[in-house]
Amino acid sequence: MNIEALISEIGLKIVSALLIIIFGIFFGLLYKGFDRKISAMMQSRIGPPIIQPFRDIRKLLTKETIIPDDSIEFLFNLAPIFALITPLLALLYIPIGPFGPLLEGYGDIILILYLMALPPLALAVGGSSSGSPYSVLGAQRKLVLMMSYELPLAISVITVVWRISTSISNNLNPFSLQVIRSYPIWDQVGLLGSLGIAMITIAIIAVIPGELSKEPFGQAEAKTEIAGGALSEYSGRNLAFYYMASSVHMVVLGSLIITIFFPYQLTEILYPIVEINGPELLHIEIGLWAILIDTVFFLFKLLIIIYVGVSILGVSFARLQIDKVSYIYWIPISIMAFIGLILVFLEYSLF
């Protein structure tokens, strides 16, 4: 590859990364507005306008950023930046609509799981460094929440990766999200396995409010109990970064669930499938209209997942006591995911 081609490729990667970053922030804030509006409608309220999150960010960025006297200043300022960068980086590894991941490579899903754990960890570090007892308590609750939902999340992902690995050739990596999307899990299982995958899907959707600290798992930021928890001392630019980080994290979670469980495109029906990257990976030969259709369909699926995993759960259930969080994730939800794993394994072994 000559120098001109290399520079052109690097430039294209940079432009694509910027577009993905803009996509993540814009639709994260937009879907946060949809969530607030839908939740208000479900509670017979008018609610804020859908564009209210954009107004909130604009207002926060113009306000003074206050640093507590008792805080560890560099950690207090670094944590919100780190919380925003990590979900944006994770988004570069996830297929968006008809487009493949920008940073495709081996072990994508493992790396994404680590990156998804970093924003809550950054929130806990930032809260602990603020010097406020409310923030420290919120940080402790966030860490307890992280340790609780990681178990069903890991069981769900391992089940899907293992089952897909039994259906592909040895030269393909089952941990690659591009491979997972090209071999939809529902096509790899029968009736018994479908029941197991359905249970795993429910378990991983139940992880969404825990990851995002939404009700009924909003204990780390409970304003009526601990005055905002880990965010109680944050303001201005730093609070805006946390706000955007939460929004992008929501998009990352939804996009990951779509890639693993609902990767189907409308163009799979409307357009012929052609083989362009070898006998294993099949792609769709699509034009501009098909790209638009699949992108809109992806955004619709993302809205549905956020509606189910954030809005419905948040409105239907009150905030749980902190001692109930670990029990719910470790016992009923983890057992559900484990039973799903067993069903998938039994179908593969017996049939």
**pLDDT value at 283 more than 70:** no
Tell me which of 261 and 310 has the higher pLDDT: 261
Mean pLDDT of the chain: 84
Question: Contact 258/301 with Cβ under 8 angstroms?
Answer: yes
**Token digits of residue 314:** 């948040």
The ranges assigned to domains in the chain are 3-350
Tell me which of 105 and 58 has the higher pLDDT: 58
Residue 42 confidence (pLDDT) = 84
Residue 344 confidence (pLDDT) = 93
Residue 172 confidence (pLDDT) = 79
Q: How far apart are CA 305 and CA 255, in angstroms?
A: 9
Residue 255 confidence (pLDDT) = 94
For 245-299, the DSSP string reads: HHHHHHHHHHHHHHHHH----THHHHS-EEE-S-SS-EEE---HHHHHHHHHHHH
In tens, the pLDDT along 3-31 reads 777 777 778 888 888 999 999 999 999 99
N-term to C-term CA, the chain: 49
Q: How far apart are CA 118 and CA 121, in angstroms?
A: 5
Tell me which of 273 and 140 has the higher pLDDT: 140
Report field, pTM of the whole predicted structure over 0.85: yes
